[in-house]
Amino acid sequence: MIEKKIMLGNAAIARGAYEAGVKVSAAYPGTPSTEISENIVEYDEIYAEWSPNEKVAMEVAIGASISGVRAMASMKHVGVNVASDPLYTVSYSGVNGGLVLVAADDPGLYSSQNEQDTRCVARAAQVPVLEPSDSQEAKDFTKFAFELSEKYDTPVIVRTTTRLSHSQGPVTLEDRMEPEDKKYERNPAKFVMMPGNAKGRHIFVESRMKAMEEDGCEFSINRTQMRDTSIGFITSGIPYQYVREACPNASILKLGMVHPLPRRLIEDFAAKVDTLYVFEELEPVMEEQIKSWGIHAIGKEIFTLQGEYSANLLRKAVLNESIDVVLPHQVAARPPILCPGCPHRSVFSVLNKLKIHAAGDIGCYTLGAVAPLNVIDTTICMGASISSLHGMEMAKGTDYIKNWVAVIGDSTFMHTGVNSLMNMVYNQGTGTVMILDNSTTGMTGHQDNAATGKTLKGNEVPAINIYQLCKAMGIKHVIEIEAFDLEKLETVIKEEVNRDAVSVIITKAPCVLLKGNVYPYKCKADTIQCKKCGLCLKPGCPALTKNEDGTIAIDETMCNGCGLCMQLCKFGAIEKVGKE
Amino acid sequence: MMKTKNIMIVGVGGQGTLLTSRILGGIILDAGYDVKLSEVHGMAQRGGSVVTFVRYGDEVAEPIVEEGQADVLIAFERLEAMRYAHYLKKDGVLIVNDQRIDPITVVTGMQTYPKNIIETLENTYTTYQIDAMKEAKELGNTKAFNVIVLGMAAKHMDFSKESWLNVIKSTVPPKTIEMNEKAFLLGYEGK
d(CA B137, CA A85): 55
pLDDT tens for chain A, 580 residues long, are 568 899 999 999 999 999 999 999 999 999 999 999 999 999 999 999 999 999 999 999 999 999 999 999 999 999 999 999 999 999 999 999 999 999 999 999 999 999 999 999 999 999 999 999 999 999 999 999 999 999 999 999 999 999 999 999 999 999 999 999 999 999 999 999 999 999 999 999 999 999 999 999 999 999 999 999 999 999 999 999 999 999 999 999 999 999 999 999 999 999 999 999 999 999 999 999 999 999 999 999 999 999 999 999 999 999 999 888 889 999 999 988 999 999 999 999 999 999 999 999 999 999 999 989 999 999 999 999 999 999 999 999 999 999 999 999 999 999 999 999 999 999 999 999 999 999 999 989 899 999 999 999 999 999 999 999 999 999 999 999 999 999 999 999 999 999 999 999 999 999 998 887 777 889 999 999 999 999 999 999 989 988 989 999 998 888 999 999 999 999 999 999 986 5
Query: Which residues 6+ apart lie within 8 Å of A551 measured at CB?
Result: A525, A527, A530, A532
d(CA A339, CA A375): 17
The ipTM assigned to this model is 0.93
Q: Give me the phi and psi of A50, to 5 degrees please.
A: -85, 120
Is the CB of B170 inside 8 Å of chain A's CB atoms? Answer: no
Q: What is the pLDDT of residue B41?
A: 74
Helices A486-497, A343-353: inter-axial angle, 10-degree rounding: 50
Query: Which residues 6+ apart lie within 8 Å of A169 measured at CB?
Result: A6, A7, A9, A134, A135, A136, B34, B35, B36, B37, B60, B63
- Provide, as residue numbers in chain A, all residues whose Cβ is less than 8 Å from the Cβ of B85: 328-329
Within this chain, do residues A375 and A308 fall inside the same structural domain, yes or no? no
Within this chain, do residues A208 and A302 fall inside the same structural domain, yes or no? no
Q: What is the CATH number of the domain that holds A462?
A: 3.40.50.970
Provide the number of structural domains found in chain A: 4
For residue A531, give the 3-state DSSP assignment.
coil
Q: What is the mean pLDDT of residues B149-174?
A: 93
* Minimum-distance CB partner of B47 among A111, A332, A339: A339
Which of A484, A508, A532 is the last residue in one of the domains?
A508
Residue A293 located in a structural domain: yes
What's this model's pTM, rounded to 2 decimal places?
Answer: 0.96
A-facing residues of B in 118-157 (CB < 8 A) are 120, 124, 133, 142
pLDDT, tens digit (0-9, with 9 covering 90-100), for A368-393: 999 899 999 999 999 999 999 999 99
Residue A513 located in a structural domain: no
Test mutation, A31, A310, A334, chain B, max B CBs within 10 A: A334
Q: What is the mean pLDDT of residues B41-58?
A: 86
Within this chain, do residues A464 and A380 fall inside the same structural domain, yes or no? yes
Within this chain, do residues A30 and A171 fall inside the same structural domain, yes or no? yes
**Between chain A and chain B, how many beta carbons pairs sit less than 8 Å apart?**
173
Q: Please list, residue by residue across A106-128, b when 16 or more beta carbons sit within 10 angstroms of its beta carbon and e when fewer do.
A: bbbebbbbebbbbbebbbebbbb
Domain range holding A235?
223-317
Alpha-carbon gap: A345 to the closest alpha carbon of chain B (Å): 13
- Provide, as residue numbers in chain B, all residues whose Cβ is less than 8 Å from the Cβ of A166: 38-41
Report CB contact under 8 Å: B14, A544: no
- Provide, as residue numbers in chain B, all residues whose Cβ is less than 8 Å from the Cβ of A540: 104, 107-108
Within this chain, do residues A164 and A82 fall inside the same structural domain, yes or no? yes
For residue B68, give the 3-state DSSP assignment.
coil
* Minimum-distance CB partner of B49 among A167, A334, A557: A334
Peptide bond into A32 cis (omega under 30): yes
- Provide, as residue numbers in chain B, all residues whose Cβ is less than 8 Å from the Cβ of A331: 79, 82-83, 114
Which domains does chain B possess? 5-189 (3.40.920.10)
Within this chain, do residues A157 and A273 fall inside the same structural domain, yes or no? no
Is the CB of B23 inside 8 Å of chain A's CB atoms? Answer: no
Q: What is the pLDDT of residue A314?
A: 97
Residue A326 located in a structural domain: no
Q: What is the pLDDT of residue A396?
A: 98
Within this chain, do residues A7 and A147 fall inside the same structural domain, yes or no? yes
For residue A112, give the 3-state DSSP assignment.
coil
Within this chain, do residues A83 and A149 fall inside the same structural domain, yes or no? yes
For chain A, the straight-line distance linking the first and the last C-alpha, in angstroms and rounded, comes to 49
Test mutation, B64, B111, B125, B131, chain A, max A CBs within 10 A: B64
pLDDT, tens digit (0-9, with 9 covering 90-100), for B68-116: 999 999 999 999 999 999 999 999 999 999 999 989 888 888 899 999 9
Within this chain, do residues A8 and A122 fall inside the same structural domain, yes or no? yes
Which residue type does A124 have? A
Within this chain, do residues A114 and A199 fall inside the same structural domain, yes or no? yes
Alpha-carbon gap: A120 to the closest alpha carbon of chain B (Å): 25
Alpha-carbon gap: A112 to the closest alpha carbon of chain B (Å): 9
